[in-house]
Amino acid sequence: MKKINQVKMDTTKSFSELVLELVASADEVASLAKDSEIDTEPLSEFAIYIEKLSPILDTLREDKMIMDTPTIRSAIGSLEAELQRARNCIVNKSVCLNEHHRFDVIQKLTHDLGRSLGLLLFASIGVSLDLKDKLGVLHKEMMNHSYFCSSSESITDNEQVCCDKEELVIMGIEREDVALQLKYGNDDEFKNSLLGLEILIRDKIVDCDWITDEGIILILFNRMGSTKCIDRLGIIKVLRSIAFQNHQTKVEKMADINSLTTLVKSLARTEMERREAVGLLMDLCELSSVRRRIGRIQGCIIMLVAILNGNDTLSSNDAGKLLDALSCNTQNALLMAEAGYFHPLIQHLKEGSEMSKILMATALSRMVLTEKTRALLGEDGAIQPLVIMFKTGKLEGKLSALNALQNLSLSNKNISYIVDSGILPPLLQLLFSVTSSLMSLREPASAILGTLSSSDSILEHRDLPNQLLSLVNLSSPNIKCNILLALNSILSQPGASEVRAKTIQNGVMQLLLPLISETDTKIRMAALNILYTITKNLSIEETYLPNIVNIISASSSKAEKAAAVGLLSNIPISDKKATDLLKKLNLLPTLVTLMGCMNSSNSTTITRWLEESVAGIFIRFTLHSDKKLQLYAVEMGVIPILVKLISDGSIKAKSRAATSLTQLSKNSLTSKSSRNSRWGYCVPSPTTDGFCEIHSRFCSVKGNFCLVKAGAIPPLFRVLEGDEREADEAVLVTITSLLQDEIWEDGSNFIAKIPGAVEAIIRMLEVGSLKAKETALWILERILRIESYRSEYGGSAQLVLIDLAHKGEPSLKSLLAKLLTQLELLQEQSSYF
């Protein structure tokens, strides 16, 4: 057998430099062959092969995955030597003058180059499949090509086998040694034998029987499972070749659980190894036994889902196909759903057997899902089949569907899908049902109804609130609670005013008020919330007020306290009987104690609701017309709470607190000072600290409700300096109480001493509402009556005033004219008046 001498390569050059020189040699040979003056047809064909070689070599040079080994350098050296020999033959024209000899020479050059190209193919470890395919195709073309001449014949199959065997010899491997070296060889011997095995399989030199007899598949899987395995990628590629060409072999040898487990571990390794492992699993999953076993391997489906969602397009595509193949098994579909891949689960819900649908729905009801995942399930079509299950399925199917829908309905996006699916009529029918077999479904049905009731579209079902009310006293505690929650969601919606009015006409108050005495906290809380929602400016029967006050003082739930306080704050202030009864029930000291225990830095929706409701009730007890009630309220300690709310409360609480402070401040001038208080307070002797600059006397908080002594005025101006505008009007009205006719000058002086106070008033002319601007103009007119303040603030005020005058608001015209005249920007006889 002919031997090809291997060329020893220069080890000082990089792999890239060696290949670059090889490309240059190939380009030169191709150019010489095309330009030769000798018979051009065979040389032109020869040139075509060389031109195909150059781009393959360029790709090889740029492939970062290829391993730079002595074997591949030797193969490059052999290819370089053959190219040089071809160059010399073309340049030496005398070699090719005889036609018969010319065909033989070119034929031999082509085959020798093809053989050297084969060496490069077999030595390329880590090269991409695409590049390896291109090398293999060109190698076969060159080995099989024949230049037609009467004396030349195409290479026979036997000659091709001999060439392949020759390549094996060049690599230092004989067929008989392949199995032995695969099993016991060192790293280099294993690599060479693996390459040799690839040749044997590709060119069908060995068959299925030989692979089986030698135990090749078991050897490869054992090697791949070793912790010291050096070429898992190469092993998987060879296994793919075996699986592709020997179907029966893969059936018998690759489908056992141990082999599959070894292969699955490669899903968590490098990108290339992962890609080949997914591909091999795809090849094997044609077998039902493989599909059954893969799902049982721990972590397999999770890794496949991760690959599906990864950036490697090829791996992702194969993983998707593999998952789809595995999804026929319901257990696999459930594992995929747990890993975040829900398409198979949805398909089973749509097309699976009844038991399969129940399994999927039950699993879906128990999964812990994120808002995003729930929304995606809704968008991908999980809701409609569940609704169909509920409508048409048997008892177990209905229950599992309801529970799954309840889980999905926790996403706001899904609520509209569920309502639009037509589920409400069968839900209500179920709730009214007295069939014993369906009783177990009423609680989950009521729960999902409670969730769906937050949808705007629920208002289209106008009779729903009254239908729910008729169910309240016919239901168990849990169902009753769910129905009450649903009612509150419907009645709380901004567009439900007509529904609320109709519900009140139908006697909802008489139905719900008795529920505030329920021992079940959830029912009591739900009833309080609905009553709060519907009782704006509605009186409550006096017999229920003690129970409500008791909830405020005794309940351990802050939310329940807030609902009870909110309900009392809805009672019209004009209801004097309610005020007197609430006073007797010691509501005020209870609220003061409650507010004193609250941490202003820990603001939540519940605490804000509580603060706002308390501030609303304080308005009832500080009415300007009832000085005796005011004295009681101040004695109970409401003013410090009001100041606290002005400083730290929500904007609505600030507004309501300011209203109470206004009502108290208006009576400061007419109330007795603290020294003469009929309540007999212990007050220190008059000092300059007790003297009030606004009221020009000794004041106190309890004696004459003095806001100066309460420390309420600076926080009021801080409200005006803030970004929220809802409290502006109430705060400005409170400030006007400091500028009443008797005290306007002292009040102006006091305000002017507060840093930024006058500027805040001027700012209101720009950012406040029309009513706020009107009140701010009134205040500013009084302050600017004093010449020194006109000089200090007139300049900054006049620009704003002129701008307001140009806008021409009729309600502001008179006050603007006064101020513009004060600033001598307008004559008193002006037509502006």
Q: What does the pLDDT look like over 660-676, one tens digit per residue?
A: 999 999 998 886 554 43
Decide if 145 is inside a domain.
yes
Nearest CA among 246, 251, 303 for reference residue 277: 303
Decide if 748 is inside a domain.
yes
Q: Any bridge partners for residue 814, and if so which? A: none
Boundary-marking domain end, from 170, 204, 230:
170
Rg, the chain, Cα only: 46
What is the maximum span of the chain, computed from C-alpha positions, in angstroms? Answer: 141
Decide if 387 is inside a domain.
no
User: How far lies 641's CA from each of 584, 588, 606, 635, 721, in Å?
Assistant: 21, 11, 18, 12, 21
- Please check whether residue 300 is in contact with residue 263, taking contact to mean a CB–CB distance below 8 angstroms: no
Boundary-marking domain end, from 170, 205, 232:
170
pTM: 0.67
Q: Which residue has the tokens 């920007």?
A: 825
Decide if 460 is inside a domain.
no
pLDDT value of position 125: 63
Decide if 543 is inside a domain.
no
Decide if 574 is inside a domain.
no
Boundary-marking domain end, from 170, 189, 218:
170
If one counts every other C-beta atom within 10 angstroms of the C-beta of residue 696, the result is: 11
Q: Distance between CA atoms of 507 and 497, rounded to whole angstroms? A: 16
Decide if 324 is inside a domain.
no
In which residue ranges of the chain is pLDDT below 70?
A: 1-11, 37-40, 64, 67, 93-102, 122, 124-126, 147-176, 227, 246-252, 671-689, 826-833
One DSSP character per residue, 67-78 reads ---HHHHHHHHH
- Residue 150: exposed, middle, or buried by beta-carbon count in 10 A (0-12, 13-18, 19+)? exposed
pLDDT value of position 611: 95
pLDDT value of position 633: 96
Q: Distance between CA atoms of 804 and 793, rounded to whole angstroms? A: 17
Per the structure, the complete domain to which residue 128 belongs is given by 15-170
Q: Distance between CA atoms of 555 and 559, rounded to whole angstroms? A: 9
What domain count does the chain have?
Answer: 2
Per residue in 481-519, pLDDT (tens digit) is: 999 999 999 999 988 888 999 999 888 999 999 999 999
Decide if 128 is inside a domain.
yes
- Please check whether residue 312 is in contact with residue 274, taking contact to mean a CB–CB distance below 8 angstroms: yes
Distant-in-sequence, close-in-space partners of 372: CB < 8 Å, separation ≥ 6: none
